[in-house]
Structure 1
Amino acid sequence: MASTLTQGPVAVIKVHEHTYNIHKDLICACSAYFERALQIQNEDTLTLENVEPRVFERFVEWLYTGELPETWTNVDEMLGAVVFGHWYMAPLFHVEVHNVTVDYLVGKKVAPSDGCVDIALVFEELSEEHALRELLVELECLYGALILDESMFPGEFVRLVAASIEERGIGWEAELEACDFHVHGSAEEKWACVLEARDRI
């Protein structure tokens, strides 16, 4: 991030028992939510509800370094960060975490119903068009059980999996491409993503 954004006043963000001192200009430049709360309303202290401290710490690390951890394997943390970026209107963070999460889930090749993914979080907090919903359904169809107990999983997830299996039949096989579920800022970006995937083959 630009060094000029880390030279101004500091805001205090409280998440549960944790307190974070973050440069106002920096966090406001990356999130419309914080811009409105800190600059427009002229606040210096905010308390965030329903945010896990570790997820917020990932956001703060990204703010100051512009990077996500290279060896990030905690799926719940990743999904929490995707939801955080969505809730708090931080589009660049949201996209980066989303794409890293997609890469990880496609690489694992396991069914979400095996307990490796917080399915409820994705289906309750992200929009119907969000690519992570579609990815979880595809992973379940490829690697999961044929019948899911609707009392254990979100009803919409169960129905989408059943409809997909009915449409394509049992024994359907495919190799998922992470790029198909990435968020791309432009056609050029998507093409670069495709070429990078081909280079890895």
Structure 2
Amino acid sequence: MTELELLLWFFASALLAGGVAVLLVASVFAVAAARLTKAVSAMLAPTSTADPAAIRDVETHLADLRNAPRIDSGVVRRVVPEERRGASDSWFGRRPGVRFDVALPLESPDDPVASVWVPTPDRLTGETELERVAAACGVEPSRLSDAVGRELPLTYAGDGQWVIRSPSNAAAAGTPEAELA
């Protein structure tokens, strides 16, 4: 073989290796694009059907709700003024409010307490969250410290969430939720 033939074989093999590399890269990009398209379409779909075997997870969740503690009230332990971040127009600003710590009558070594925070309203309209919680405790909004030691109606909403029920408007929208602390 002459040097010219060796050079042609080298270029032909380099061309073949380059073509294979281009096909490999193109197939990797095609697979990635297909997976991305599938993920985006799944996120944008109005409904999604899970694996039929996942019904066991739903049944387990419903059994946990059925076996959840049956509590209809707790006792307010503390009423604490507290500012929270992120509740106002600016994420850096803090919004004033009040945190109610409610003792739950659960048999637990942790002595469970549900904490609920409600924002301080700019004006009293009779429909603010703070007024609903004060009414549920049987105190005036101007006398929130009197809520300590009072019973507060609660409903277990599942997953450690407790909803404070208002006796005057039990189905009111925007009822504050308490997380088990």
Please, what TM-score do these two structures have when normalized by structure 2?
A: 0.25
**Which protein is richer in helix relative to its size?**
1
**Which protein is richer in strand relative to its size?**
2
Select the structure of larger CA radius of gyration. Answer: 2
